[in-house]
Amino acid sequence: MTEQQPLDKVLAHELAGRLSNVLVETEKVIVGQRDMMEGLLLGLITGGHILLEGVPGLAKTLAVSTLAKTVDTGFRRIQFTPDLLPADITGTTIYNRETGEFTVKKGPVFSNIILADEINRAPAKVQSALLEAMQERQVTIGGETFPLSDPFLVLATQNPIEQEGTYPLPEAQVDRFLFKLKIGYPTREEERVIMDRMAGRSVPEVTTVIDPVALREIRQAVSQVFVDEKIKSYILDIVFASRDPEAAGLDLAPLIAWGASPRATLALTQLSRARALMKGRAFVIPEDVKAVGMDILRHRILITYEAEAQNLTSDDIVTALLDNIEVP
């Protein structure tokens, strides 16, 4: 196997400019929430699915639809409800009385960017149908297998404050999301801008700035971003410390039920590369790993009852890991 060529610094700077243009376009509509928009863009350029969690009214759906408009690809929104069926997502076969044959009617999952709105409102079999498509990137309808479009990205939202009528995603399935973004309230100044910009007015229009060819070029460039051996060891130190804190010299063992899976190692590497490219660099630095670490690890580390009794969350555990693992 030949060694992959490193990314050219000039190209890295040029591609970072394209990505910056995407963020500039989204800011015409989305006020603040810079971390969320950068996270969505990182998912887009790495091909990783994203789970967004936040209370209603924080523009999660608007953010996803706005990002989709900046990319010249297909976009479909699926509103998850308790009465939704798997066929409503993947598609089904329909009997044609004139020909006497069954024909395939593809579902909304056959698009490029899929917004799975309030994914935790649909029962497990519906969630599984979508998550299988996410993992395999193909769908079987009536015994026939159909590949999904490229690019294919699922952005799922969920509301954390309602328990009635919801079906929490199983931990093993949540792990299939590349990372989980938690969305907070805007600042007072940002909300004033929202008030002035949006109250009684139509949503500003955004223009397309990236086409599928450019997106493929950016994704290829991400895989060429250089990761030093010390950075790789740093990533492994973080992941393995979540599994065996005592070996890392951390007093976290009573608080962690299960550590991060190997998917976390791959995600940290890929997202660090993508963030480096977004910042115009052809190489990863420790700051990149720390910047994406919380969103990648928060849904992959399960805490114990003892941690819950101390009012600790997985975010607190991840913070402790990132703060205490020695940086190269």
The string of pLDDT tens digits covering residues 62-75 is 788 888 888 878 88
Residue type, 238: I
> Which fold, 226-324?
Helicase, Ruva Protein; domain 3 (1.10.8)
Q: What average pLDDT does the segment 79-104 reach?
A: 83
Instruction: Report whether pLDDT(2) > 50.
Output: no
Kindly state the tokens that stand for 267. Answer: 């995600």
Kindly state the tokens that stand for 244. Answer: 């065996």
Instruction: Report whether pLDDT(165) > 70.
Output: no
pLDDT in tens, 180-216: 888 877 778 877 877 777 665 666 778 888 888 888 8
Q: Determine the Cα–Cα distance for residues 312 and 299; give it in Å rounded to an integer.
A: 14
Contacts by residues 210-213 (CB-CB < 8 Å, ≥ 24 positions apart)? 210/18, 210/22, 210/70, 210/71, 210/72, 211/71, 211/72, 212/71, 212/72, 212/73, 212/151
What is the DSSP secondary structure assignment for residue 310, as one 8-state letter?
A: T
- pLDDT score of 48: 84
223 versus 5: which is more confidently predicted? 223
The average confidence (pLDDT) of the chain is: 83
Instruction: Report whether pLDDT(142) > 80.
Output: no
- pLDDT score of 110: 87
Q: Determine the Cα–Cα distance for residues 180 and 65; give it in Å rounded to an integer.
A: 18
pLDDT in tens, 47-65: 888 888 877 766 777 788 8
pTM reported for the whole predicted model: 0.84
The architecture that CATH gives domain 9-213 is 3-Layer(aba) Sandwich (3.40)
Where are the CATH 1.10.8.80 domain residues in the chain? 226-324
Q: Considering only the C-alpha atoms of the chain, give the largest distance between any 2 of them, rounded to a whole number of Å.
A: 72
- pLDDT score of 274: 92
Instruction: Report whether pLDDT(98) > 60.
Output: yes
Where are the CATH 3.40.50.300 domain residues in the chain? 9-213
Q: What average pLDDT does the segment 140-163 reach?
A: 80
The number of residues in the chain equals 328
Kindly state the tokens that stand for 40. Answer: 């969505």
Q: What average pLDDT does the segment 3-19 reach?
A: 77
